[in-house]
Amino acid sequence: MGVAIKLEQMTIADKISTMECLWDDLCRHASETLSPAWHGDLLAQREEAVTVGEAQFLDWDQAKKKIRDSLS
């Protein structure tokens, strides 16, 4: 099924509403979606890093700043 949406003609409110509808639909069908194998591999690697004390954690404000800084 193809849906043509002219994004440049949508308001921000329309775009947010559309994203919310899409997210709600995805959540209703979450059990039908399988995560790829590499997700499990990455989670295992990160858990191991926590276990051996190699993981670093940032609070949310620090993380947002780091992300913003990396984009500029």
pLDDT tens-digit series, residues 1-38: 677 778 889 999 999 999 999 999 999 998 888 889 99
For residues 18 and 5, the answer to whether their CB atoms sit within 8 Å is: yes
> Is 1 a member of any domain?
no
Position 1 scores a pLDDT of 66
> Is 38 a member of any domain?
yes
Position 6 scores a pLDDT of 87
What's the number of domains the chain is made of? 1
The pair of three-digit structure tokens given for residue 1, joined into one six-digit string: 């099924």
Residue 54: which domain range? 7-71
Q: What is the mean pLDDT of residues 41-70?
A: 95
Place of tokens 């990455």: 42
Report the length, in residues, of the chain: 72
